[in-house]
Structure 1
Amino acid sequence: MTPFVSHGPDARDGYIYDLAPDLQLAIQVALATDRPLLLSGDPGSGKSSLAPFHARANSLRYYEHVVTSRTQAADLLWTFDSVRRLGDAQTHRGRLNDGAYVNPGVLWWALAPESARTRGGLLQDVHRLDPLDRFHHQEHRTKGAVVLIDEIDKADPDVPNSLLVPLGSQEFTVAETGTAVRREPDVAAPLIVITTNGERQLPQAFLRRCVTFTLPSPTPERLVRIARLHLDHAGVPLDAETVHLTEALADELVRARENDGGGRGRPPSTAEYLDALHACRALGIRPGHPRWPLVRSLTLAKSPQQDG
């Protein structure tokens, strides 16, 4: 697989994930039933990281679409550049090829990559590489795919309902060109991972058509295991002092979550545990250090924002 290089604390490069047996079974059930896997859980609990990990571990193409309040269901299937077409119509003679103004979305590429390259046969095969595959596979490498639809609860409630038919039948029609898109015979059914933070209730009809799994709250043992995976990937020696730090921070995070019983703030997550670990290692701060309370408040025990 071609290396995918990404920088920043939330790389989504698929290299590291602590895959629990229950979550592995949920993936297997989703694949066996050909249903989307709907993941819920606290922000920062690892929902969005599962899809790239599964793709990289199984040499699959990987696509993601981050949902916003302005996302429409069609955006995951295709978009049509009507503004550019109008401009070209005013300056060119002759009939325009509408295929030149169609941009396949993540589900089109996942279900029918050959059709996506040629816009359903309207264009010559000029897109030899898949532009939306984040891992940049060569076209002959794989016929399977993973699609991440991230934070679907941010969208209007009509969006999940509008996805029911294309997700269920794995086919749709491009309105502007009449192109019928369906899963190609030699393409394996994709694993579609959909995440929700629970900010908005999803339609019951949509929930019935998903395999649902809620990521559990972190335990000290799992936090330490995740820390070891990250440190090992970074080439950091796991000496006694580092191991003690991972354990102490795990205990601190669990206490911070337990002390948030009032529900006024969001409980700290796995992502914030890793932030605290990286900060302590970089700055040479350990629990008991004079600056530790401030580091703790900056990473693990964040106070709710005040109005004003």
Structure 2
Amino acid sequence: MKDWWIYKGDRSTDRLGRLGAHRPPWRSFDGDIDERYQVPSLDDDRYRSDRERGAGYIVDEREAELVNSALYLRRPLLVTGVPGVGKSTLAYSIAQDLGLGPVLRWPITSRTTLRDGLYRYDAIRRLEDANLKRLEDPAATAVPAVTASPGEAIGKYLQLGPLGSAFIPTERPRVLLIDEIDKGDLDLPGDLLTVLDEGRFDIPELARLAEHTPTVAVGTDDRGGKARITAGRVSCRAFPIVVLTSNGEREFPPAFLRRCIRLTITSPSREKLLYIIEQRIGREAAAAADGENGIISAFLKRRATGALATDQLLNAIQLRLAGAWTAPEDLGRLTDATMHVLSGPDAT
């Protein structure tokens, strides 16, 4: 481990203070912090799976160097690799290691738009609730009544998405996982540029009310979270740690790529596989899987013909622990059942 690293993968000490001392002048953000807004803690039992997923990631030196480069430069980290090598888990490892709260995850599909990640406004539900209220109290339309302010009324139906929640101004950055961005529309990477460059975005529905209701409380992507937005604008203070994953299925525009730190995660070596098994399942399981005729050797031999995911190896080991295909002559049947090649000449 190197002295300049902030992220080390071991959660040994709080090292985030270095970010403030080494802020690039061109990546400075000044959003006003709302002291009432609280980022959930990963120690909360509701986020136990996030905590365990992050703690189980094994980071190597090259990965740590590029993650830390992205941290210092306040730039997104574009992580590429075959399915199952731990691209998404890296984001959980960063959040766990630096104590930054639950990961804000934005899964991308072919229909995803930028607004999906920023916020959702349920105008239809708002209209339905208004109609229901009139039906329950017909006199309400004829007799003026004390009602909530326009801002309070609309805030009930507006919720920040994972991207929008990542830009809520806080002292410490949030970790945002934009998962499988290569599945999105061709325009999505370009649409992201302005938000990622400026560290802010506007919500027109709230901006129109700013003169009468300057501050509005809205929901966030955290469970039960609330944030106060002023003048319809969300501006970050600490730029989020943005991890974008890609399976390498397509190229991205040069304007997008030049703003990213790029990391390609390669398939783990035998030594790293042993360490992963030891951390995830146990030392005895790792020892049993090793050897010239062990499951790891079978996995590496099959991986030489096409891409395999590490969790396929873990599945095979778990089956043996459950008493399935434990005889030496059953190894071939076990690999056939659990280690289908994902890509390459032998993929089906």
Q: Within 5 A, what are the aligned runs for 1:116-127?
A: none
Which residue, out of 299, 303, 316, partners 1:257?
Answer: 303
**Partner AA of 1:203 in structure 2:** P
For 1:112, the equivalent position in structure 2 comes to 168
Task: Choose the corresponding residue for 1:291, options 330, 341, 346.
Answer: 330
TM-score norm. by structure 2 comes to: 0.68
Give the letter for the 1:250 counterpart. I
Aligned twin of 2:4: none
Given that residues 12 and 49 in structure 1 are in contact (C-alpha distance below 8 angstroms), is that contact kept between their aligned partners in structure 2? no
1:78 Cα offset (Å): 0.8
Of 57, 67, 77, which residue of structure 2 is paired with 1:27? 67
Q: Do 1:157 and 1:203's aligned partners in 2 also have CA atoms closer than 8 Å?
A: no
Q: Work out whether 1:39 is the aligned partner of 2:89.
A: no
- Deviation digits for residues 79-137 of structure 1, max 9, x if unmatched? 111211232344555774322221111122222167xxxxxxxxxxxxxxxxxxxxxxx
SS in 2 for 1:112: coil
- Could you report, residue by residue, the CA deviation over 1:50-73 in whole angstroms, capped at 9, with x for unpaired residues? 111111121102211111112111
Which residue matches 2:29?
none
Give the secondary structure class of the aligned counterpart of 2:245.
strand
User: Are the aligned partners of 2:76 and 2:260 in contact in 1 as well (CA < 8 Å)?
Assistant: yes
Could you tell me which residue of structure 1 aligns to residue 125 of structure 2? 84
Specify the alignment match of 2:155 in structure 1: 99
CA distance in 2: counterparts of 1:16 and 1:108, whole angstroms: 28
Partners in 2 of 1:246 and 1:78 — Cα distance? 49
Aligned residues: 259
**Structure 2 unaligned regions, length at least 5:** 1-42, 134-140, 142-146, 208-231
CA contact (8 A) 1:73 1:160 kept: no
Task: Tell me which of 269, 287, 295 is aligned to 1:243.
Answer: 287
Question: How far apart are the structure 1 equivalents of 2:58 and 2:303?
Answer: 20
Kept in 2, the 8 Å contact 1:227–1:246? The answer is: no
Whether 1:157 and 2:186 are equivalent positions in the alignment is: yes
CA positional deviation for 1:163: 0.7
Q: Report the Cα distance in structure 2 between the residues aligned to 1:90 and 1:244, rounded to whole angstroms.
A: 66
1:171 is aligned, of 192, 200, 207, to: 200
Q: Does 1:221 align with 2:267?
A: no
How far apart in 2 are the matches of 1:242 and 1:223? 9
Deviation string 1:244-300 (CA, Å, 9 cap, x unpaired) is 41452222222112133xxxxxx21212111112122222545x6232212101112
Q: Is the 8 A contact 1:66 1:149 kept in 2?
A: yes
RMSD over aligned CA atoms reads: 2.4
Q: Aligned to 1:172, what secondary structure does the other structure show?
A: strand
1:65 and 2:101 correspond: no
| 1:67/1:11 CA distance change after superposition, 3 Å | farther
Q: Residue in 2 aligned with 1:5?
A: 48
Task: For residue 166 of structure 1, report the CA deviation from its aligned partner.
Answer: 0.7
Task: Within 5 Å, give how 1:292-307 maps onto structure 2.
Answer: 292-302=331-341, 304-305=347-348
Match of 1:16 in 2: 56
1:163 is paired with a residue whose SS is: helix
Q: Which runs of 5+ in 1 are unaligned?
A: 115-141, 261-266
Distance 2:288 2:82 in 1: 26
Identity within the alignment, %: 32
The residue type paired with residue 70 of structure 1 is R
Whether the 8 Å CA contact 2:51–2:92 is kept in 1: the answer is: no
Runs of 4+ with deviation above 6 angstroms: none
